[in-house]
Amino acid sequence: MRTVLNKITVIGVGLIGGSFAKGIKQLGLAKEIHGFGNNEENLKMAVDLQVVDSYSTDIQTAMQDCDLVMLAVPLGAMQPVLESLRPHIPQSAIITDAGSAKQSVIDAVTKVFGYLPENFVPGHPIAGKEQSGVAAADDQLFVDHRVILTPAESTSSAAVETVKKLWLALDARVEVMSAGFHDEVFAATSHLPHLLAFALVEMLHEHPELGNVFKYTAGGFRDFSRIASSDATMWRDISIYNHQAIAKWMTEYRDYLSGMIELVEKQDAEALYELFTTAKQARDQHIVNKQD
Ligand SMILES: NC(=O)c1ccc[n+]([C@@H]2O[C@H](COP(=O)([O-])OP(=O)(O)OC[C@H]3O[C@@H](n4cnc5c(N)ncnc54)[C@H](O)[C@@H]3O)[C@@H](O)[C@H]2O)c1
Ligand SMILES: O=C(O)C(=O)C[C@]1(C(=O)O)C=C[C@@H](O)C=C1
């Protein structure tokens, strides 16, 4: 991308907003990368770490002369933030976001504007880590990771193209799908494993009869539970704003576990071996040696 934008405002300069800002700033794809948020210390740090060029805690200043807004706040903060920016955002400015669920953000935008603006491009980078805040921002975070865009039929193709070019410049791989399919797929592949990790750690923590149980954990537990160190606000909001799909996949998983409990109780060696073999083959084929 060589078209240089005038001013990009990142609302929520944390892990994701900060990583996006830092990458775009280093590539010089906007004359100014401006940060806005509810935590001034964090915004000062963002300037010190050269993640953004400038910041404000006043939304009018943040929106002035801005031609693209990236919303990278927790899902529950999307609507209040949109309400505050709406009176000040230039009409031609593109709005995009990084929220982990898509339909809820589309609903929030529609509610605040009274219609779905053609310059709104919903997005979700499929990259992250268990840390949050601007100190964890990494300009390489999105390299070789998918970014899903879920535009509506009415979304301007020029706006989609601009957002796509920014992510491609960060070496991400952009894919377009419907918001409904997005929310279903990521409930199964991202939201479900996070909730399972939180549940396992919480369950062991609640069993004092096991003593200092975490002392006896090693690589397996560490791999499975890493994501239980993720931010509680972010995961509370994802659980609430994609609740239907998440509850559906949790129920499916519970049924699956019930079946496995029966196999273990019956000591059904053959069925257990088959299940573990199928799962190992699927993971080895699709994740360990992933080609695309
Ligand atoms: N962490 C991940 O792995 C990951 C990956 C992809 C997408 N996301 C999504 O990206 C978004 C941001 O996540 P993150 O991990 O960067 O979180 P973060 O906690 O690192 O950053 C969030 C930032 O938003 C600011 N903020 C919170 N409420 C605000 C409000 N009401 N007004 C203004 N600023 C506010 C905070 O000060 C903070 O700087 C979330 O919607 C999340 O679902 C996260
Ligand atoms: O790697 C991690 O720590 C993540 O949690 C990143 C992860 C995921 O892979 O599930 C989490 C939530 C996002 O919306 C996208 C990516």
**8-40 pLDDT tens trace:** 999 999 999 999 999 999 999 999 999 999 999
CATH (domain of 137): 3.40.50.720
CB 172 within 8 A of CB 143: yes
The total domain count for the chain is 2
CATH (domain of 245): 1.10.3660.10
Quick count: other Cβ atoms within 10 Å of Cβ 126?
A: 16
Q: Which atom of ligand 2 is nearest to the CA of 130?
A: 3
Q: Which atom of ligand 2 is nearest to the CA of 127?
A: 16
- Ranking 74-83, 107-116, 283-292 by mean pLDDT, the lowest is 283-292
Question: Is 222 found in the same domain as 133?
Answer: no
Q: Which ligand is nearest to the CA of 98?
A: 1
Question: Is 160 found in the same domain as 51?
Answer: yes
Q: Which atom of ligand 1 is nearest to the CA of 19?
A: 16
Question: Is 41 found in the same domain as 83?
Answer: yes
Q: Which atom of ligand 2 is nearest to the CA of 227?
A: 3
Q: Ligand 1 test: best mutation among 9, 15, 43, 134, most atoms within 8 Å of CB? A: 15
Question: Is 239 found in the same domain as 165?
Answer: no
Domain closes at, from 138, 161, 177: 177
Q: Which atom of ligand 2 is nearest to the CA of 193?
A: 10
267 Cβ contact partners less than 8 Å away, ≥ 6 residues apart: none
Q: Name beta bridge partners: 11.
A: 36, 71
Q: Which atom of ligand 1 is nearest to the CA of 16?
A: 16
pLDDT in tens, 136-145: 999 999 999 9
- Beta strands at 30-36 and 94-97: parallel, antiparallel or unpaired: unpaired
Domain closes at, from 157, 177, 197: 177
Q: What is the mean pLDDT of the chain?
A: 96
Query: Residue 7 in 3-state DSSP?
Result: strand
More confident of the two residues 95 and 2: 95
pLDDT at 292 over 80: no
111 Cβ contact partners less than 8 Å away, ≥ 6 residues apart: 79
Q: Which ligand is nearest to the CA of 197?
A: 2
Question: Is 238 found in the same domain as 157?
Answer: no
Q: Ligand 2 test: best mutation among 126, 185, 236, most atoms within 8 Å of CB? A: 126
Binding-site residues, ligand 2, Cβ < 6 A: 100, 126-130, 190, 227, 230
Residue-range definition of the domain harbouring residue 67: 5-177
**For residues 94 and 80, what is the distance between their CA atoms, to the nearest angstrom?**
18
Our answer on whether the CB atom of 98 is closer than 6 Å to any ligand 1 atom is: yes
Question: Is 60 found in the same domain as 151?
Answer: yes
pLDDT in tens, 222-235: 999 999 999 999 99
**For residues 54 and 45, what is the distance between their CA atoms, to the nearest angstrom?**
11
Length of the chain: 292
Question: Is 219 found in the same domain as 121?
Answer: no
Residue 242 to residues 17, 89, 186, 189, Cα–Cα distance (Å): 21, 28, 9, 13
Q: What is the mean pLDDT of residues 240-249?
A: 98
Q: Where are the beta strands (DSSP E) in 153-268?
A: 173-176
Q: Which ligand is nearest to the CA of 124?
A: 1
- Joined together, the tokens standing for residue 1 give 């991308």
- Beta strands at 120-121 and 94-97: parallel, antiparallel or unpaired: parallel
- Beta strands at 68-71 and 30-36: parallel, antiparallel or unpaired: unpaired
Q: Which ligand is nearest to the CA of 225?
A: 2
Ligand 1 center to residue 282 CA distance, Å? 32
What is the model's pLDDT at position 1? Answer: 56
Question: Is 195 found in the same domain as 161?
Answer: no
∠ CA 66-122-29, nearest 5°, is 40
Ligand 2 center to residue 125 CA distance, Å? 9
Ligand 1 center to residue 172 CA distance, Å? 19
Q: Which pLDDT band, with edges at 50, 70 and 90, does 181 fall under?
A: very high
- ipTM higher than 0.90? yes
What is the model's pLDDT at position 110? Answer: 98
pLDDT at 2 over 80: no
Question: Is 163 found in the same domain as 58?
Answer: yes
SS3 string, 76-145, reads HHHHHHHHHHCCCCCCCCEEEECCCCCHHHHHHHHHHHCCCCCCEECEEECCCCCCCCHHHCCCCCCCCC
Question: Is 169 found in the same domain as 48?
Answer: yes
Question: Is 190 found in the same domain as 132?
Answer: no
Question: Is 241 found in the same domain as 120?
Answer: no
Of the candidates 234, 281, 236, which has an alpha carbon nearest to the alpha carbon of residue 133? 234
Domain closes at, from 177, 196, 231: 177
What pTM was estimated for this model as a whole? 0.97
